[in-house]
Amino acid sequence: MLERLRDKRVDRNWLDTNFPCMMACPAGTNAGRYVSLIAEGRFEEAYRYARDPNPMASVCGRVCAHPCETACRRGAIDRPISIRALKRFLTERHGPESRHPLPARKCSVPKLHYKVAIVGSGPVGLSAAHDLALMGYSVTIFEAAQVAGGMLHLGIPEYRLPRGIVEGQIREILESGDVALKLNSAAGRDFTVSQLREQGFDAVVLAVGAHRSRDLSIPGVDLDGVHKGIEFLLNANLGYRFSIGQRVVVIGGGNVAMDVARSAVREVLKQHRGDIEGATPNDENIAAVATREMVDVSLSALRMGAREVGIVCLERREEMPAASEEIEEAEIEGVRLHDGRGPKRVLGRDGKVVGLETLRTKWVFDAQGKFNPAFEERSESTIECDTVILAIGQAPRLDFLRPEDGVTISARDLIVADRQTLMTSAPGVFAGGDCVFGPRLIIDSVGDGKRIAIGIDEYLTGRPHPEPEIEVEILTRHRMFPDYMEIGRQPIPMLPLDRRTGVTEVELVYDEKTAMREARRCLRCWVNTVFEGNEPDGSQCILCGGCVDVCPEDCIQLVSLDRIDFPPEVLDQISRDSGIFHVELDDVAAEELGTIAGAAMLKDETRCIRCGLCAQRCPVNVITMEAYVVKLQYPEPALRTPGE
Q: Check whether residue 226 and residue 372 sit in a common domain.
A: yes
Determine the Cα–Cα distance for residues 124 and 122; give it in Å rounded to an integer. Answer: 6
Q: Is residue 109 part of a domain?
A: no
218-236 pLDDT per residue, tens: 999 999 999 988 888 887 7
Determine the Cα–Cα distance for residues 35 and 57; give it in Å rounded to an integer. Answer: 14
486-539 pLDDT per residue, tens: 999 999 999 998 888 777 899 999 999 999 999 999 999 989 888 875 555 556
Higher pLDDT, 238 or 387: 387
Residue 288's pLDDT is 28
Q: Is residue 300 part of a domain?
A: yes
What is the DSSP secondary-structure string of 47-69? HHHHHTT-TTHHHHHHH---HHH
Give yes or no for a contact between 337 and 316, defined as CB atoms under 8 angstroms apart: no
Q: Give the number of other CB atoms < 10 A from CB of residue 67.
A: 17
Higher pLDDT, 51 or 594: 51
Q: Is residue 268 part of a domain?
A: yes
CATH number (domain holding residue 305) = 3.50.50.60
Residue 437's pLDDT is 94
Determine the Cα–Cα distance for residues 442 and 440; give it in Å rounded to an integer. Answer: 7
Q: Is residue 349 part of a domain?
A: yes
Strand residues in 307-459 grouped as ranges (E)? 308-313, 336-339, 341-349, 352-365, 371-375, 381-384, 387-390, 394-395, 429-431
Number of domains in the chain: 2
Flag whether pLDDT at 307 surpasses 60. Answer: yes
Q: Check whether residue 273 and residue 368 sit in a common domain.
A: yes
Q: Check whether residue 295 and residue 345 sit in a common domain.
A: yes
Domain end, chosen from 394, 429, 447, is at 394
Residue 567's pLDDT is 79
521: CB partners within 8 A, 6+ apart: 74, 81, 484, 487, 489
- Highest mean pLDDT: which range of 87-96, 283-292, 491-500: 87-96
Domain end, chosen from 409, 428, 461, is at 461
Which strands make up the sheet holding 623-631, listed edge to edge?
A: 2-4, 469-475, 623-631, 527-531
Host domain of residue 227: 214-394
Mean pLDDT within 535-558: 83
609-621 pLDDT per residue, tens: 999 999 999 999 8
Q: Check whether residue 411 and residue 343 sit in a common domain.
A: no
pTM: 0.86
Determine the Cα–Cα distance for residues 306 and 311; give it in Å rounded to an integer. Answer: 13
User: What per-residue string of b and e applies to 571-592 under the rule 16 or more CB within 10 Å gives b?
Assistant: bebbeeeeeebeeeeeeeebee
Which amino acid is it at 34? Y
Return the closest-CA partner of residue 208 out of 485, 414, 8.
414
**Paired strand residues for 261:** 301
Flag whether pLDDT at 283 surpasses 90. Answer: no
Q: Check whether residue 369 and residue 224 sit in a common domain.
A: yes
Q: Check whether residue 296 and residue 330 sit in a common domain.
A: yes
Residues recorded for the chain = 644
Determine the Cα–Cα distance for residues 265 and 576; give it in Å rounded to an integer. Answer: 64
Domain end, chosen from 394, 413, 446, is at 394
Q: Check whether residue 408 and residue 302 sit in a common domain.
A: no
246-273 pLDDT per residue, tens: 899 999 887 777 777 777 666 655 554 4
Q: Check whether residue 240 and residue 376 sit in a common domain.
A: yes
Residue 634's pLDDT is 52
Q: Check whether residue 152 and residue 282 sit in a common domain.
A: no
Mean pLDDT within 101-127: 95
Residue 214's pLDDT is 85
User: Dihedral, CA atoms, 220, 224, 227, 233, nearest 10 degrees?
Assistant: -170
Mean pLDDT within 187-207: 97
Mean pLDDT within 364-387: 92
Higher pLDDT, 443 or 265: 443
Q: Is residue 43 part of a domain?
A: no
Please report which confidence band the pLDDT of residue 190 belongs to, taking 50, 70 and 90 as the band edges.
Answer: very high
- Highest mean pLDDT: which range of 71-75, 192-196, 633-637: 192-196
Q: Check whether residue 277 and residue 198 sit in a common domain.
A: no
581-598 pLDDT per residue, tens: 455 555 666 666 766 777
Return the closest-CA partner of residue 148 out of 119, 115, 128, 187.
119
Residue 248's pLDDT is 92
Q: Check whether residue 169 and residue 270 sit in a common domain.
A: no
347-373 pLDDT per residue, tens: 999 999 999 999 999 999 888 888 899
Q: Is residue 338 part of a domain?
A: yes
Average pLDDT for the chain: 85
168: CB partners within 8 A, 6+ apart: 58, 95, 96, 97
Q: Check whether residue 377 and residue 272 sit in a common domain.
A: yes
Give yes or no for a contact between 389 and 258, defined as CB atoms under 8 angstroms apart: no
What are the φ/ψ torsions at residue 541 (nearest 5 degrees)? Answer: -60, 135
Flag whether pLDDT at 463 surpasses 90. Answer: no
